[in-house]
């Protein structure tokens, strides 16, 4: 049975959808060799999972994508509308909620206290490995470029995404220090009640 979303959950989801949208104001850079821009919005994906956990982090990115789909120009460069889901960035966009969910799920497995090193690992796995796998697949399907040229073009993203993974972990550590229990994983194991 799933837990109902509280008004606090909804507020956090909306806030982080707004954070990802705000990161879209940072100008995108189109590197040579791949038709997908470098944006700051993947930092928001990592932050949503790191701070909110799997369920609310994925929810924030689902809300963000719904707003983009209805036409709000929230993606870097002021893009929005259904057309962006037919472009070479589709794998990255569709992967946003999954990646936030993976980051959050891994962070939740790290225990009741947010640990910086584990947070970096969670961001690298969910925010780099998973997003690259989905993004590369989407780019190859839409552009019909070969896998290896797209993989090589993705090399432009690696250093910036590594910096984002570390930065998101530091920010999340500060947030969790200020608001312990934000992930909601500090619940004791359920004990069996006698019949």
Q: Whole-model pTM?
A: 0.89
In a domain, 100, yes or no: yes
In a domain, 188, yes or no: no
Of the pLDDT bands very low, low, confident and very high (cuts 50, 70, 90), residue 31 is confident
Q: Mean pLDDT across the chain, nearest whole number? A: 90
Whether the predicted pLDDT of 195 surpasses 80? no
Per-residue model confidence as pLDDT tens digits over 103-125: 999 999 988 789 999 999 999 99
Per-residue model confidence as pLDDT tens digits over 75-108: 998 999 999 999 999 999 999 999 999 999 999 9
- In the chain, the largest separation of any two C-alpha atoms, in whole Å, equals 67
Q: By CB neighbour count within 10 A (0-12 exposed, 13-18 middle, 19+ buried), where does 88 fall? A: buried
Q: By CB neighbour count within 10 A (0-12 exposed, 13-18 middle, 19+ buried), where does 30 fall? A: exposed
Whether the predicted pLDDT of 192 surpasses 70? no
In a domain, 184, yes or no: no
Per-residue model confidence as pLDDT tens digits over 130-176: 999 999 999 999 998 899 999 999 989 999 999 999 999 999 999 99
Q: What is the pLDDT of residue 2?
A: 62
Q: What is the pLDDT of residue 68?
A: 97
Give Cα 65 distance to the centre of its chain.
12
In a domain, 77, yes or no: yes
In a domain, 174, yes or no: yes
In a domain, 1, yes or no: no
In a domain, 2, yes or no: no
Indicate the number of domains in the chain: 1
Supply the angle between the helices 54-69 and 41-52 in degrees, to the nearest 10.
Answer: 140
In a domain, 195, yes or no: no
Its domain, for residue 105, covers 7-178
Least trusted range by pLDDT, from 22-26, 33-37, 104-108: 33-37
The CATH number assigned to the domain holding 109 equals 1.10.1760.20
């Amino acid at each position: 049975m799933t837990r109902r979303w509280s008004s606090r959950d909804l507020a956090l989801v909306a806030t982080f959808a707004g954070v990802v949208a705000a990161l879209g104001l940072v100008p995108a850079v189109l590197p040579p060799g791949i038709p997908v821009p470098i944006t700051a919005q993947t930092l928001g994906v990592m932050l949503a999972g790191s701070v909110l956990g799997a369920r609310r982090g994925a929810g924030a990115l689902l809300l963000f994508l719904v707003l983009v789909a209805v036409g709000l120009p929230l993606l870097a460069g002021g893009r929005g509308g259904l057309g962006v889901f037919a472009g070479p960035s589709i794998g990255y966009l569709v992967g946003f909620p999954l990646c936030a969910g993976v980051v959050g799920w891994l962070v939740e497995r790290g225990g009741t206290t947010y640990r910086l090193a584990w947070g970096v690992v969670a961001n690298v796995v969910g925010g780099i490995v998973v997003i690259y796998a989905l993004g590369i697949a989407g780019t190859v399907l839409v552009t019909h470029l070969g896998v290896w040229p797209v993989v090589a073009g993705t090399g432009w993203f690696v250093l910036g995404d590594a910096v984002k993974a570390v930065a998101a972990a530091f920010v999340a550590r500060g947030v969790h220090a200020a608001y312990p229990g934000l992930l909601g994983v500090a619940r004791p194991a359920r004990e069996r009640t006698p019949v």
